[in-house]
Chain A
Amino acid sequence: MIEFDPIIVLACRYSLALLFAHAAWTKWRAFPYFSATLNEYRLLPPVLVPSAAAGIVASEAAIAVGALASPTATFAMALAAILLIVYISAIGINLTRGRNDIDCGCGGPESKQTLNGWLVVRNLLLVITALVGSASLVLRPLTAIDASLIGLVVLTATVIYLALEQLLSNLPRLDALDEIME
């Protein structure tokens, strides 16, 4: 069993908990939109899409909650890694089909990200984060400094992630501009 320092493992777990909680929330809030988006991936027969969409939202919510407590965290992180690999495959299949103009469905209707290779890179990094988060903790007493360090890492990682997301959603706008100016 791989063991890491609690700061590293817990920071990964809490960051992903935050990420999946947000993902589940935006998908739930605009559920019909998410179902339509999932349908656009053209991977499932339309009959199965609503239940699959509900399953995804439920899994994301379960990961967010499960990551917080030690007994369930390893399982939650493994589920996160599997879910992310499923996303990577779904995006990869549609990219090879040349359907790069569909919405990624990562956030709500406002996020408007179209599929591109960077999403695969981003999700691979998240898979690595989930795998680190699934490791066991090296047993040592945690002090207040450890706790505040974990908080700082989660905060910084979240802000950097948001900045990357923003840059990704800028991409199609830049492409649209290029297309006009050509």
Chain B
Amino acid sequence: MEQALLISNAILWVMVIALAITVLALARQVGVLYERIAPAGALMVGHGPEVGDPAPVFEVDTLAGSRLKLGGNRDDARSTLLFFLSNSCPICETLIPVLHSIRKTEAAWLDVVLASDGTREEHELFVENKGIGEFDYVLSTQLGLGYQIGKLPYAVLIDGSGKISAKGLTNNREHLESLFTAKELGVASIQDYVHGKDVA
């Protein structure tokens, strides 16, 4: 009897550990699944001007000192990617290399403008530390309020005629690129794409 109990106990231990490992593996697979089936795209949260509306026109000074007009019809028909970030947002920092590569590869039709608010000194330090001096960097509370930016990093794509062609919360490269795809497809947001709404 005692022998049988000992053996049963040993077998149970082995099976408990095997089951625990199986549960761990399953949980990981579920996590991967969530990631894969989620259509990668910038989530449109909050309010502010709608996609398709003319972008509010702002005249702002860049950190470098030049004057920049955001929104409105542009003679050269170039688009503008307005990227809202903050020096205290870790995810924003992970997107800096992506912004560098977008600036290079999309240079033919796109200007990238970084926008934030706060004191000039801390942002000058931030620009220097992160090596993002070649971007137009604007500090304007009005701009953030105008687009009603609630969460960072947030990006707004303005086309050459001054209309908003896409916008959304951008946590990674796929999200940022989804804005360009949205512009090409004429879809307002990932929500609209999933629901098959035709906004074009």
Interface residues of A (CB under 8 A from B): 33, 36-37, 39, 101, 103, 109, 152, 155-156, 159-160, 162-163, 166-167, 169-170, 173-174, 176-177, 179-182
Instruction: Assess the B90–A176 pair: CB atoms within 8 A.
Output: no
Instruction: Assess the A155–B17 pair: CB atoms within 8 A.
Output: yes
* A108–B39 alpha-carbon span in the complex (Å): 26
Instruction: Assess the B27–A156 pair: CB atoms within 8 A.
Output: no
Given A170-B27, A180-B39, A156 and B34 contact (CB-CB distance below 8 Å): no
* A58–B175 alpha-carbon span in the complex (Å): 37
* A170–B23 alpha-carbon span in the complex (Å): 14
* A128–B191 alpha-carbon span in the complex (Å): 43
Instruction: Assess the B24–A180 pair: CB atoms within 8 A.
Output: no
For B38, give its contact among A160, A169, A180 (CB under 8 Å).
A180
Q: Which residue of B lies closest to A155 (CB)?
A: B17
Say if the beta carbon of B30 comes within 8 Å of chain A: yes
In the assembled complex, the CB of B28 is this many whole angstroms from the nearest CB of chain A, namely 6
Chain A-chain B contacts (Cβ-Cβ < 8 Å), number: 58
User: What are 17 A-B pairs at a CB distance below 8 A?
Assistant: A39-B88, A103-B90, A156-B16, A159-B20, A159-B21, A159-B24, A162-B24, A170-B30, A173-B35, A173-B38, A176-B38, A177-B37, A177-B38, A179-B43, A180-B43, A180-B190, A182-B191
Contacts of B90 in A (CB 8 A): 33, 36-37, 103, 109
Chain B CB within 10 A, most for which of A33, A166, A174: A166
Say if the beta carbon of B31 comes within 8 Å of chain A: yes
* A170–B26 alpha-carbon span in the complex (Å): 12
For B13, give its contact among A152, A174, A177 (CB under 8 Å).
A152
Instruction: Assess the B34–A163 pair: CB atoms within 8 A.
Output: no
- Nearest 5 CB-CB pairs, A to B? A173-B34, A166-B27, A163-B24, A159-B20, A170-B31
Contacts of B7 in A (CB 8 A): none
Contacts of A173 in B (CB 8 A): 31, 34-35, 38
Say if the beta carbon of B194 comes within 8 Å of chain A: yes
* A24–B75 alpha-carbon span in the complex (Å): 56
| New contact pairs (18) apart from A37-B90, A160-B23, A174-B34, CB-CB < 8 Å | A39-B88, A152-B17, A156-B16, A159-B20, A162-B24, A163-B20, A169-B31, A170-B27, A170-B31, A173-B31, A173-B34, A173-B35, A173-B38, A177-B34, A177-B37, A180-B39, A180-B43, A182-B191
Q: Which residue of A lies closest to B9 (CB)?
A: A149
* A129–B155 alpha-carbon span in the complex (Å): 45
Contacts of B17 in A (CB 8 A): 152, 155-156, 159
* A162–B191 alpha-carbon span in the complex (Å): 33
For B28, give its contact among A155, A156, A166 (CB under 8 Å).
A166
Contacts of A103 in B (CB 8 A): 90
